[in-house]
Amino acid sequence: MRIARFSHNDVIRFGIVDDGELVVLAGDPMFAGYDTTGERVPLADVALLAPVIPRSKVVCVGRNYRAHAAELGNDVPSAPMLFFKPNTSVIGPGDSIVLPPQSERVDFEGELAAVIGRIAKNVPADRALEYVFGYTIANDVTARDLQKTDGQWARAKGFDTFCPLGPAIETDFDPSGDAVVTTRVNGDVRQSAPISDMIFSLADVIAYASAAFTLLPGDVILTGTPAGVGPFVAGDTVEVEITSLGILRNPARDA
């Protein structure tokens, strides 16, 4: 099932994607279930929004693909390397990534994202996926120069608009399968790798993270990016595609 969050006639709602239309839901399905209103709205008539705005946090994993760690001259971590992006960094499909004047190099990082569906604390890896509501696409936008100079990553990863999510949440997806992450800039492929290349699986990441802090419904887990990261500039369009999840497309502009 594919769930979209959308704006129609200036009202924000949720719907199930069905043959070019949205079956409108009575509320947020994560909390209110799948009761419908009886309405159907053409997808062409709505503006898709970020499928979730985390109430608490976006949890990210650094250097979770060996080739990506190598391309930046870093060692492969022995355990998941976690960091946060603020929920104020989240934008939706079609929204502009705003390039901050503080940075001279902003990079794309296409990633698989998971949306937590219920409270998770000290979750074992063999049950971790039971706590996932669904899956979507993310771009872990990074001010690479600031990442290097700051030492810690909060500013470099946390600017407003630096966490595009979308286009929808897919509840039926296998994060251990052979889906491929592909990132394009102006149509040119820059990244392409199967999610099976991850060092630490999503289940392992959820278990590791939930041993440290409680994961809440609506929290988003970004699972790391493959090799091929690079800069983009104002006027570029960045697309991240994941097999069976669709395409997340965002233009870039200067602040």
CB 169 within 8 Å of CB 52:
yes
pLDDT tens digits for range 47-85: 999 999 998 999 999 999 988 888 888 888 999 999 999
Does residue 161 sit within a domain?
A: yes
Does residue 14 sit within a domain?
A: yes
Q: What confidence score (pLDDT) does residue 73 get? A: 84
3-class DSSP string for 27-57: CCHHHHCCCEEEEEEEHHHCEECCCCCCCCC
Q: Is the pTM of this model over 0.85?
A: yes
Mean pLDDT of 103-130: 98
What distance in Å separates the CA atoms of residue 211 and residue 202, rounded to the nearest whole number?
14
Does residue 143 sit within a domain?
A: yes
CA angle, 115 as apex, 114 and 118 as ends, to 5°? Answer: 130
| Rg of the chain on CA atoms, in Å | 17
Asked whether residue 155 falls in the same domain as residue 78, the answer is: yes
Asked whether residue 74 falls in the same domain as residue 128, the answer is: yes
Asked whether residue 135 falls in the same domain as residue 181, the answer is: yes
pLDDT bracket for residue 96 (50, 70, 90)? very high
- CA neighbor of 133 nearest in space, from 51, 47, 27: 51
Asked whether residue 40 falls in the same domain as residue 76, the answer is: no
pLDDT tens digits for range 10-38: 999 999 999 999 999 999 999 999 999 99
Mean pLDDT of 77-96: 97
Asked whether residue 250 falls in the same domain as residue 215, the answer is: yes
Mean pLDDT of 145-165: 97
Asked whether residue 150 falls in the same domain as residue 169, the answer is: yes
Asked whether residue 29 falls in the same domain as residue 151, the answer is: no
Asked whether residue 168 falls in the same domain as residue 243, the answer is: yes
Find the domain containing 15 and state its range: 2-48
Q: What confidence score (pLDDT) does residue 179 get? A: 98
Q: What confidence score (pLDDT) does residue 150 get? A: 97
What distance in Å separates the CA atoms of residue 107 and residue 99, rounded to the nearest whole number?
10
CB 199 within 8 Å of CB 226:
no
Cβ within 8 Å of residue 17, ≥6 positions away: 2, 3, 4, 43, 168
Does residue 200 sit within a domain?
A: yes
Does residue 53 sit within a domain?
A: no
Asked whether residue 29 falls in the same domain as residue 145, the answer is: no
In this structure, what CATH number is given to the domain that contains residue 140? Answer: 3.90.850.10
Three-state DSSP state, 62? strand
